[in-house]
Amino acid sequence: MSSSVAIQGFAGSFHELAAHHYFGSATTTRPCATFEELVRQVAGGSARHGLMAIENSIAGSILPNYTLLRKADLRITGEVYLRIRQHLLALPGQELAAIEEVHSHPMALLQCADFLGQHPWRLVETEDTGLSAQRIRESRRNGVAAVAGTRAAELFGLDILAADIHTEKQNYTRFLVLAKPEHAPEPEQPDKASLYFHAAHRQGSLAQVLVRIADLGINLSKLQSCPRPGSTWHYTFHADLEFDDPAQLAAALTAIGPVTEKVQVLGRYRRGVTH
Amino acid sequence: MSSSVAIQGFAGSFHELAAHHYFGSATTTRPCATFEELVRQVAGGSARHGLMAIENSIAGSILPNYTLLRKADLRITGEVYLRIRQHLLALPGQELAAIEEVHSHPMALLQCADFLGQHPWRLVETEDTGLSAQRIRESRRNGVAAVAGTRAAELFGLDILAADIHTEKQNYTRFLVLAKPEHAPEPEQPDKASLYFHAAHRQGSLAQVLVRIADLGINLSKLQSCPRPGSTWHYTFHADLEFDDPAQLAAALTAIGPVTEKVQVLGRYRRGVTH
């Protein structure tokens, strides 16, 4: 059993940065090409923890990751919020006018569409922001830039040719920290929980669930509907609940029992901070 | 002003099939490479109607399309449900053993991953299921198959080498019918409405919205949260409401006023049927 943290993406990616904020910068990360691979590494024991993006303040929920969470027997043990700042990176000494090609993850290219659209550059989609930066360093290619964060610039010795080139300046991503149940001890004083439930097949049952939660003084910070497996046009709901006292959560789980068909707590943890 | 219907995808696509079910098979469709282009064609008047996928019973909501709906000043005038059945198509006379390459839209390839994974075929991602079939016909290429529906087989004279190759047999897509407000007269007896709202910034306000809707005997058939533009970690909700009498909807809009910050009705229409 390694004590490393499985992340989606590679060195210099935003997942790595989020892992360093949460676990400290001495942490060993295990790069995964996909979210499926990340979950497999944690569930299979190759990594003790996982750190997985779940939603972005502009693009919204990463719906397939909710499905991965429901299918894997993992617990959410924490969360971390990261402000996403994209920069244009190239080998030291390069001028903006010399750039002909820009490489990055499609999402990063999209986030910078306004800036990139003002230049006659060829855009090349890659697997990862950090990997794009690393390849420029390793190939020593002139005329090529990457869209990535400051961490990639530091790690691969690239210059920032243009800073903060993302269109929407308030761009945050929320990451969940995952572990197998046996490596996820109850936190001392949790003030947040993630759960999913099927509302009972009666009109108004979702309203009843939410009223019972609200009546206990719990704040519903997120409600996400997802397709309910094995049924058509019925939904399962993922809910994030914020409370002051874990007793409120216990009371809520009891209260919603009669108006839900299935309730599963994915994790109790401390509310995350924004970096 | 054309009376045609803008669709996402090309001849032989599932969007075209859904358009034929809703408007009749004599309808002229206007293929669009993207959902953005579809909305532009309707908003700009190049097409009188649009037909746009909004959710799938397995993959869930197509979140970016909710954003397109909020930004465009269009009305939802109807809906149609389509069962998605994927087949392996090739030029007549081809044997399964002769196939080396399979072309289709990434989502269609994914839906057939189990079947495709049992063969040593090279998978090639394309823009569209119908277009993949058309290219096989036009290039008369042997050894190449497409994943697409029966409509593409008929249209381009291809054989079905393997039928119903999609993994999840209960696979349905819901499409919305769109028009500019001036081309969207009130239907005589609407029994469904789509709206979006911001819940007031108070704990329990979403619960209050849903209770007031349920208390009027209205069925909430869908609730989808999306990021709220210009704010971070606040959500806007898209809701589909089913009722017997339009007076219920009018009463609901009045009732939820005090517990919402903004309510916008995207359309009143008749519930769709499944084909």
Determine the Cα–Cα distance for residues A133 and A102; give it in Å rounded to an integer: 10
**Is residue A219 included in any domain, yes or no?**
yes
Confidence at residue A8, expressed as pLDDT on a 0 to 100 scale = 94
Whether B83 has its CB under 8 Å from any CB of chain A: the answer is no
Q: How does pLDDT run across B157-211, given as a tens digit for each residue?
A: 999 999 999 999 889 999 999 999 999 888 889 999 999 999 887 889 999 999 9
Residue A275 lies in a domain: no
What count of CB pairs under 8 Å joins A to B? 92
**CA–CA distance, A21 with A185 (Å, rounded to integer):** 21
Interface test with B, best of A84, A211, A222, A237 (most B CBs within 10 A): A211
Which CATH number does the domain housing residue B144 bear?
Answer: 3.40.190.10
**Is B275 among the domain residues?**
no
Is the ipTM value over 0.85, yes or no? no
Residue B184 makes CB contacts below 8 A (sequence gap 6+) with: B75, B77, B267
B128 and B158, same domain (yes or no): yes
Q: Are residues B69 and B175 in the same domain?
A: yes
Do A79 and A10 sit in the same domain of this protein? yes
Q: Are A58 and A171 in contact (CB under 8 A)?
A: yes
Asked if residue B105 is part of any domain, the answer here is yes
A145, A6 Cβ separation under 8 angstroms: no
- Å between B36 CA and nearest CA of chain A: 14
What's the CATH code of the domain at A257? 3.30.70.260
Do A157 and A101 lie in a common domain? Answer: yes
Taking 50 as the pLDDT cut, the residues of chain A under it are 1
* β-sheet bridge partners, residue B84: none
**Same domain? B196 vs B158:** no
Q: Is residue B1's pLDDT more than 60?
A: no
Could you write out the DSSP letters of every residue in B149-208?
A: -HHHHHHHT-EEEES---SSS--EEEEEEEE-GGG-PPPSS--EEEEEEEEPSSTTHHHH
Does A12 lie in the same domain as A40?
A: yes
- A202 and A258 belong to one structural domain: yes
Same domain for A176 and A67 = yes
Residues A259 and A201 in one domain: yes
pLDDT class of B2 with cuts at 50, 70, 90: low
Note whether residue A274 is domain-resident: no
B265 at the A interface (CB within 8 A)? no
Q: Is A175 assigned a catalytic role?
A: yes
pLDDT number for residue A268: 97
Compute CA distances A166 → A109, A113, B99, whole Å.
9, 8, 44
The pair of structure tokens assigned to B58 is: 């397995």
A178 and A67 in one domain? yes
Whole-angstrom distance, CA of residue B252 vs CA of residue B260: 12
What is the percentage of chain B residues whose pLDDT exceeds 90? Answer: 83
Overall average pLDDT of the B117-140 stretch: 94
| pLDDT tens per residue, range B7-50 | 999 999 999 999 999 999 899 999 999 999 999 999 999 999 99
Interface test with A, best of B54, B61, B228, B248 (most A CBs within 10 A): B61
Domain boundary among A117, A148, A183: A183
Residues B45 and B178 in one domain: yes
Residue A70 inside a domain? The answer is yes
Give residue B114's domain range: 87-162
Domain count, chain A: 3
Residue B154 in domain: yes
Residue B274 lies in a domain: no
Of A61, A206, A218, nearest to B223 by CB-CB distance is A206
B227 with A56: Cβ contact below 8 A:
yes
Verify that B151 and B175 share a domain, yes or no.
Answer: no
DSSP A65: H
